[in-house]
Structure 1
Amino acid sequence: MLKKKGPAAQGLKIIIVGCGKVGSTLVQQLSREGHDITIIDKDAAAITELANLYDIMGIVGNGASYSVQIEAGIKNADLLIAVTDSDELNLLCCTIAKRVGDCSAIARVRTPDYSQEVGYLRDRLGLAMIINPELEAAREAARILYLPTALEVNSFAHGQAEMIKFKIPEGNILDGMTIAYLGQHITNAVLICAIERGGEVYIPSGDFRMAEGDVLSFVAPRKMTRSFLEAVGFKTNRVKNAMIIGGGKSAYYLAQQLIHMGIEVKIIEINRARCEELSILLPKAIIINGDGTDEELLKEEGIHYTESFVALTGIDEENILLTLYAKQVSKAKVITKINRITFKGVINQLDLGSVVYPRFITSEAIIAYVRAKKNSTNSNIETLYHMFDSRVEAIEFRVDQPSAVTDRALMNLPLKKNLLVACINRNGRILIPTGQDCIKVGDTVMIVTKHEGLVDIRNILE
């Protein structure tokens, strides 16, 4: 057993089983938020590395073993998160934890067979959450291909509101325009809530002047996003076809969604047996057995003419090179999946189009749950997204009780700096708030902020 280096923080007692990509991302973020973390894994070297970096306890062993869970302190734990590579092991870890301890449990489950039974498994095993990173990554990619102007599309308020990220191109109407002018003369149905320029991220006020090359995130009711993008000079037609390289779980989930949206799909996969599986699972897709990194094959299959290109191989470097090649030879909307590489500064300069990180999607959903569990008073966290390399958070709170933030005009609230109340969902109606609007009990409220670790709607006040 590897001992903690410092005193236990005031937070939840959390046991994480598995210290792969998602496990280590969770350790990094949850330890930063002050939780007391124990990690279990069979790989002693991986545990030592994490224990040296963060103030955590590590146990080498099988996370589904009763005695190992007892040693990890399951009887006093608030939460067990199982994120090993095996779905079955994750479910077994959670089942044992629920029997032995009085804690919540979260399992990562990726197999399509199980993903259709998520509701049943969650209820029968008493789990707080079952999360599928490949399915979530595919959903994100599908949203982007539906609105290809966007670099990112995140949804809030049960899909009623969207946060869209895009880059201002040369000669665009927004170049040189202030945020206030946009609201007064073009539309006040959207809110520009974060802008990245020259490596810096700003939560802009009305006098902020936008410029070519800025990367903007805006919030709008879902039905308004297209009309706003069209009003500022962007094409918003969804793509008609997609070429996907790699035939893994993400590719299957994405193809399924695109076909449902009426988009033609072609998958190139090197493994013949997997191609045969996919052709049965996805009868409406074209499945090509071949090496997706072969330039001649890509030309033959029409890379020059495809409207979208999604690199979903299991190797990040391959995905990056494929994307750069697709951008060079076609006008396709490109999406790159990156699982492991952490050189975000380098990646951001490569112009890879939209980048999807399954491990961050997984960790965000779990962190939102942890923050909601830590705070069970006036409000609850519905969704949480990290933006601009985790320098900005977008958090959706459900307001359950009256408090210092309710029934007062926003202009009269002492809000923290670098924080915006971006939208209010009131009984399914999306409000882009002005200074005169107020937050009411029953609303869900979306906050965009550079502050970390907000757990309660009252945290928005100075």
Structure 2
Amino acid sequence: MRIVIYGATEAGYMAALRLSNDHDITLIDEQEQLPEKFSDLDINYVSGSGADVAALERAEASNVNLFIACSDLDEANIVACWTIKRIKNIETICFVRTINLYKNLLFYRQSAYRTPYDIDTVIWPELLLTQDIFRIVSVPDAIDVEYFAQDSTKLFEYRIKKDSIILNKRIMDCDFPTDVIIVGITRDNTLFIPDGSTIIRNKDKVVFIGTGPALDILAARFFRKSSAIKKVAVIGGGSVGFLLTEKLEQAGIQVTLIEHDRERCSFLADNLRRSLVLHGDGTDFELLENEAIGEVDAVICVTNNDEKNLLCSLLVKQLGSARIITRVGNVQTALLFDRVGIDVVVSPRESALKELLNRVQASDVDILALVEGGQGEVLQINLAEDFPRTRIIDVQFGAKAIVGTIQRGRQIIIPHGETTLQGGDLLKIFTMAADADTVKRMFSK
């Protein structure tokens, strides 16, 4: 597939990095030369604006299959998508950063005002991030949560602590509930797929996949040290802070929201029904102490500044906060957050990347989740009707992979080696990102 990416941004880099091995990529940006971080990628470069017809012609837009607009300027992304549609009616993906533009673009696509130049997919990373954080908050002690198949199948990730009852045990010796399997473990920032003899170590991050009821039993029996979340502090009242607080209010959770901008505080106080909105700085230790922020069930730092989020997280950690969830934009910063003991690190970039990759995949393959900064992937693969009946133990993946669940009609199966795959099955497969293409090709034969 021929793909044009407009914008040498972090989102543009991640998209080019993940897509350049299998697709012909051309990057457009206003800079005269290809930015240095893109230099190791096998891509073409055109200097200019994605909204400029001349630049699009130099990128051979008439031969392109997909256009991704992810520059730092929303309006430029929108105009670029409209412009390329006039050259060729291809699929367009547009990144935006404001709620008003997001809602307006969706409104036009879903109303009587539709035109041939409408943008096909609108990605607002902050909304996707909000949804990810809310899922994580809803499961005490989990550091990642994903829901699949109308919530009948779930993924929970937990960090192993010194008092864990499965510490230093082999996986085969752990009495996990039926319909739950371990598909991945992250140790020293490296994700790998374990087997039954793998010993679970302190600080391991363990990924479980299973049915919803079975994972609820797992959480209660092995991990849940605290009761349901009742009080939360949110630091940062931007788009993510506001949307997240709305969702927490709807779930009956008491929220204290701290925002440094006085005018924004007025907006928040007028639009949030039950939350306490405080005008102040999340790095003000005296404020955090006076408001007993360390005593809430979870603190969520979601300003748009990585350094400020880190400082806020360290301060509330010093106050004894039970659980800290922190937003991060930079990949290297995310590793630092993890090393200093921040419980959960979330990224709008990763949330958006999953959505983007799903739009690029073949119709019978979806990426349902990215794990550990994209090191692992949960793939959804629909087996062809003529797929021969095959035991999982006999499947030659050509790479390390685990079939996490099988959906057969309305039945959800958590398989083992003797389980038989058959045509029409919908599989959830966990594999390393580097091996994902090998797994996809195996089932596309």
Show the counterpart of 2:403: 421
Matches within 5 A, 1:106-145: 106-116=93-103, 119-122=106-109, 124=114, 125-145=117-137
Pair 1:58 & 2:40 matched: no
Query: Matched residues in 2 for 1:338 and 1:169: separation?
Result: 24
* In the alignment, structure 1 residue 242 sits paired with structure 2 residue 232: yes
| Aligned mate of 1:95, from 61, 65, 82 | 82
SS of aligned partner of 2:324: strand
Matched, 1:407 2:389: yes
TM-score by length of structure 1 reads 0.88
2:419 is the counterpart of 1:432 = no
Q: 1:427 to 1:142 in 2, by over 3 A?
A: same
Equivalent-residue separation in structure 2 for 1:116 and 1:102 (angstroms) = 23
The alpha carbon displacement at 1:265 in A equals 1.7
Give me the whole-angstrom Cα distance separating, in 1, the residues matched to 2:442 and 2:368. 15
Cross-structure match for 1:26: 15
How far apart are residue 458 of structure 1 and its match? 4.7
Which of 328, 341, 349 aligns to 1:351? It is 341
Superposition pairs for residues 192-207 of structure 1, below 5 Å?
A: 192-207=182-197
Task: Tell me the CA shift for residue 308 of structure 1.
Answer: 1.0
**Of the candidates 28, 41, 45, which is equivalent to residue 40 of structure 1?**
28
Distance in 2 (alpha carbons) for counterparts of 1:358 and 1:55: 25
* Residue ranges of structure 1 left out of the alignment (5+ in a row): 1-11
Deviation at 1:217, TM superposition (A): 0.4
Q: Which amino acid in structure 1 is aligned with residue 159 of structure 2?
A: K
1:276 matched to 2:263: no
Displacement, 1:213? 2.6
Equivalent residues of 1:14, 1:78 under 8 A apart: yes
Counterpart in 1 of 2:63? 76
Instruction: State the aligned residue count.
Output: 439
Alignment partner of 2:367: what SS?
strand
2:8/2:35 contact within 8 Å kept: no
Work out whether 1:452 is the aligned partner of 2:435: yes
The question of 1:179 aligning with 2:163 is answered no
- 8 Å contact 1:306–1:330 — kept in the other structure? no
Q: 1:263-296 CA distances to partner (integer Å, 9 max, x unpaired)?
A: 1122111111111222233233222121221111
* Identical pairs, percent: 27
Q: Secondary structure at the match of 1:44?
A: coil
Cα deviation 1:2-46 (Å, max 9, x = unaligned): xxxxxxxxxx21111122221122122222x2322112222336x
Contact 1:416 1:461 in 2 (8 A): no
TM-score, normalising length from structure 2?
A: 0.91
Distance 1:83 1:428 in 2: 39
Code of the residue aligned with 1:302 in structure 2: it is A
Task: State the shift of 1:400 in Å.
Answer: 4.5
The alpha-carbon deviation at position 457 of structure 1 amounts to 4.2
- 1:214 & 1:131 partners in 2: Cα distance? 33
Q: C-alpha separation between the residues in 2 aligned to 1:440 and 1:53?
A: 42
Instruction: Give the residue type in structure 1 aligned to 2:340.
Output: L
Letter in 1 for 2:369: Y
Contact 1:138 1:250 survives alignment (8 Å): yes
Matched, 1:252 2:236: no
Once structures 1 and 2 are overlaid, which stretch shifts more, 421-430 or 145-154?
421-430
Q: Secondary structure at the match of 1:93?
A: helix
Structure-1 separation of matches of 2:385 and 2:25: 31
C-alpha contact (below 8 Å) 1:77/1:102 kept by paired residues:
no
* 8 A contact 2:6–2:29 mirrored in 1: yes
Residue range with higher mean Cα deviation, 110-119 or 417-426: 110-119
The whole-number CA distance in structure 1 between the counterparts of 2:321 and 2:165 is: 22
Residues 113 and 389 of structure 1: CA distance in aligned 2, closer, same or farther (over 3 Å):
closer
Match 2:378 to one of 378, 381, 394: 394
